[in-house]
């Protein structure tokens, strides 16, 4: 039998759900976390966590986990697992409260709310149980931004949510009512994990409006599709994780293999580095290097650079400086280098890599059309949004951009907010 310390060592620093089991192999608690390792480790500190939590921790003999891609997935998967396993410390030991559900009523104008003590009724849609009100609210916030819904019975006048475009106010006309009921149907599909079918249905609607030259309606549906696609690129229904607990690792490997195929690489790119430059007209320039190992962020190996070149706005020279400083450090060599930019940025990186004899493949990705530039091809590679290779490259580039912007804002704040402390120096 492995000790708790040994079990924690194997838990990844990634989002997912975790399960605590007692010495009889029975699940006693299920939780979700943005970082499984940090969340699970927090239970085993020397601090007192409260009578109920301390009692639960004293009964833990084993820990299991399932990795996911996003917060939305962890919220729904946690609810599905709790519903199936009925763990004691989720169901019985929450201040005597009954399980919480998301409810879509069977009224003439279906309303969405959170409820307790709800028994299944004909026509009523229930999703849950959820571990707390916060979990259910997080899910509803995500859904409402795509499909606005109502939670008030026939108010006399439009409420604040209507003005925020989060409620369609279905009471205004017969057409508004029909459109609202269609929206509710789409929300149910999303809760059931049918996002791909939902996107296909929306595309048909968009094309139909376009043929009728109703371009405003077509544009509104297009925006919904884009938001859903953002959710669907990483979203997988709870059923998929239950059937394949290693789904995250399997799909990540598939993305890496697809990237290898698209770029015609000899080997799988196990270590990928990506570089981004951030500045405002050349002021407070910063650079970032993010590292992905086996398709996942290796945040302990991220590096930030406070760029010294400040003569004039010149992204090429700033990129050249960052790459020079990186190559003069004895860090592990990458299998693939990604540059944020177009052909010009790629040529700068290729020249620097050749100078320093760093044997790595180099590509760049341009933001506007998300086209990938390579040394071997005169024209950029254009891939569809659903292509796994493009999704991986975009994910890595977006992470590099986020990291650079964060450091850039920090440096700017040091200028505008007086402080006796010196500027933070780059780790590169």
Cis bond before residue 165 (omega within 30° of 0): no
278: left (phi over 0), alpha (psi -120 to 50) or beta: beta
Helix %, strand %, coil % for the chain, to 5? 45, 20, 35
What is the mean pLDDT for each group of 10 consecutive residues in the chain (428 residues)? Answer: 87 91 94 90 84 91 90 80 87 57 88 82 81 75 84 76 81 86 87 78 88 86 77 66 85 92 93 86 78 93 83 80 88 92 91 75 88 91 87 91 78 52 45
CA–CA separation, 322 and 280 (whole Å): 17
Q: What is the pLDDT of residue 419?
A: 45
How many other β-carbons are positioned within 10 Å of the β-carbon of residue 395?
Answer: 18
Q: Which domains, ranges and CATH numbers included, belong to the chain?
A: 4-91 (3.40.1440.10), 100-238 (no CATH), 251-416 (3.30.420.340)
């Amino acid at each position: 039998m492995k000790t708790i310390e040994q079990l924690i060592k194997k838990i990844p620093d990634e989002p997912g759900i975790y399960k605590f089991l007692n010495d009889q192999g029975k699940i006693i608690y299920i939780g979700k976390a943005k970082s499984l390792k940090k969340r699970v480790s927090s239970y085993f500190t020397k601090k007192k966590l409260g009578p109920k939590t301390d009692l639960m921790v004293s009964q833990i003999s084993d820990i299991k986990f399932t990795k996911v891609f996003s917060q939305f997935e962890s919220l729904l998967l946690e609810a599905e697992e709790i519903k199936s396993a009925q763990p004691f410390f989720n169901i019985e030991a929450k201040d005597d409260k009954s399980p919480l559900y998301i409810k879509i009523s069977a009224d003439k104008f279906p309303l969405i709310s959170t409820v307790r003590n709800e028994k299944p009724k004909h026509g009523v849609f229930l999703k849950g149980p959820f571990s707390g009100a916060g979990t259910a609210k997080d899910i509803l916030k995500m859904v409402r931004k795509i499909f606005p819904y109502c939670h008030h019975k026939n108010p006399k006048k439009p409420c604040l949510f209507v003005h925020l475009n989060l409620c369609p106010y279905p009471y205004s006309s017969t057409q508004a009512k029909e459109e609202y009921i269609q929206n509710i149907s789409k929300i149910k599909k999303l809760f059931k994990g049918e996002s791909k079918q939902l996107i296909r249905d929306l595309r048909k609607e968009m094309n139909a409006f376009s043929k009728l030259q109703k371009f405003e309606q077509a544009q509104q549906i297009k925006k919904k599709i884009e938001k859903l696609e953002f959710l669907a690129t990483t979203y997988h229904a709870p059923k998929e994780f239950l059937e394949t607990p290693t789904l995250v690792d399997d799909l990540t490997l598939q993305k890496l293999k697809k990237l290898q195929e698209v770029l015609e690489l000899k080997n799988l790119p196990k270590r990928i580095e990506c570089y981004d430059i951030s500045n405002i007209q050349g002021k407070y320039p910063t650079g970032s290097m993010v590292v992905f190992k086996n398709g996942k962020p290796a945040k302990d190996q991220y590096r930030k650079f406070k760029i010294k070149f400040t003569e004039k706005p010149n992204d090429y020279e700033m990129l050249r400086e960052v790459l020079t400083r990186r190559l003069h450090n004895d860090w592990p060599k990458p299998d693939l280098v990604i540059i944020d930019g177009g052909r010009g940025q790629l040529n700068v990186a290729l020249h620097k890599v050749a100078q320093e004899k760093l044997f790595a493949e180099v590509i760049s990705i341009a933001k506007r059309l998300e086209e990938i530039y390579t040394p071997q091809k005169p024209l950029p590679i254009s891939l569809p949004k659903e292509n796994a290779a493009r999704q991986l490259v975009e994910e890595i580039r977006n992470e590099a951009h986020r990291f650079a912007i964060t450091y850039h804002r920090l440096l700017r704040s040091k200028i505008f907010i007086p402080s006796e402390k010196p500027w933070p120096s780059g780790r590169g």
